[in-house]
């Protein structure tokens, strides 16, 4: 298999990865009003989860697969960014480390909804008033802890670090069009916006997540178009 064919396959997989998130987004959005449900009070979130357990498990299960896929997608894009020389240096290694950390943090955040929160939701429906109060406190702690790891570290900070590192690689090498690097820098502040939640402010996780997927679609389409032109 030629390098051009490998690049074409990577481009197609990148597009697929960008589109894959639409599936859990549709399932969870319809079932529990995700991603707004991430900020719902336990008294509202737990009954929603309990009433839609099947969809919650399917939606977050697919989201988990999507998150682990970053372990392959992230390094592949960074590798393409190196260009002809394929000189692996500290920046490339940093990018790999950051996207792997992102995938792990995302997974931790997602697993809270597949384990602790689903169990709490099932228990909540048949609990007494006093038990319900205790369950709500536990869910608050689980959601805050999991959200900080999954959304703020995984979806935001670690992915921003990877994006900036890859954008620098794009601009320093000839592997991808330079506009992809500049677009990455433009999107980075939007992707980083959930960090403000640590200071009691409100961020739009949908807009933040959408920004990196616009970039992914752009990267995938650019790769496919460029490699298709070479073939013809």
- What is the sign, positive or negative, of the torsion defined by CA atoms of 122, 127, 129, 132? negative
pLDDT reading at 121 higher than 70: yes
pLDDT value, residue 146:
92
Report the C-alpha gap between 61 and 114 in whole angstroms.
8
Domain containing residue 25: 3-231
- The Cα-based distances of 219 to 10, 40, 65 in angstroms read 10, 34, 21
Question: pLDDT per residue over 6-42, tens digit each?
Answer: 899 999 999 999 999 999 999 999 999 998 888 899 9
pLDDT reading at 203 higher than 90: no
Mean pLDDT of the chain: 92
| Averaged pLDDT for residues 158-165 | 98
Task: Count structural domains, the chain.
Answer: 1
Exposure letters 125-142 (e unless 16+ CB within 10 A, then b): eebeeeebeebbebbeeb
pLDDT value, residue 232:
60
pLDDT value, residue 115:
95
pLDDT reading at 119 higher than 70: yes
pLDDT reading at 48 higher than 80: yes
Strands (E), 14-133: none
Is the Cβ–Cβ distance between 53 and 147 less than 8 Å? no
Exposure letters 200-218 (e unless 16+ CB within 10 A, then b): eeebebeebbbbbbebbeb
| Averaged pLDDT for residues 80-89 | 86
| Averaged pLDDT for residues 214-232 | 88
Report the C-alpha gap between 205 and 194 in whole angstroms.
7
Q: What is the pTM of this model?
A: 0.92
| Averaged pLDDT for residues 91-118 | 96
């Amino acid at each position: 298999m030629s390098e051009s064919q490998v690049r074409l396959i990577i481009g197609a997989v990148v597009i697929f990865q960008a589109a894959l998130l639409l599936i859990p987004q549709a399932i969870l959005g319809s079932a529990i009003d995700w991603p707004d449900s991430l900020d719902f009070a336990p008294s509202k979130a737990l009954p929603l989860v309990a009433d839609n357990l099947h969809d919650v498990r399917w939606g977050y299960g697919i989201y988990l697969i999507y998150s682990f896929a970053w372990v392959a997608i992230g390094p592949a894009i960074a590798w393409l960014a190196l260009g002809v020389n394929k000189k692996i240096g500290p920046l490339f290694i940093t990018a790999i480390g950051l996207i792997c950390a992102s995938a792990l943090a995302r997974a931790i955040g997602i697993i809270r909804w597949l384990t602790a929160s689903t169990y709490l939701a099932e228990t909540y429906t048949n609990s007494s008033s006093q038990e319900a109060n205790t369950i709500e406190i536990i869910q608050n702690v689980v959601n805050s802890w999991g959200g900080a790891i999954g959304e703020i570290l995984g979806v935001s900070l670690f992915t921003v670090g990877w994006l900036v590192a890859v954008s620098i690689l794009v601009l320093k090498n000839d592997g991808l069009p330079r506009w992809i690097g500049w677009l990455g820098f433009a999107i980075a502040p939007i992707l980083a916006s959930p960090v403000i939640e640590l200071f009691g402010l409100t961020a739009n996780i949908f807009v933040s997540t959408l920004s990196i997927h616009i970039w992914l679609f752009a990267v995938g389409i650019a790769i496919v178009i460029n490699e298709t032109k070479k073939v013809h």
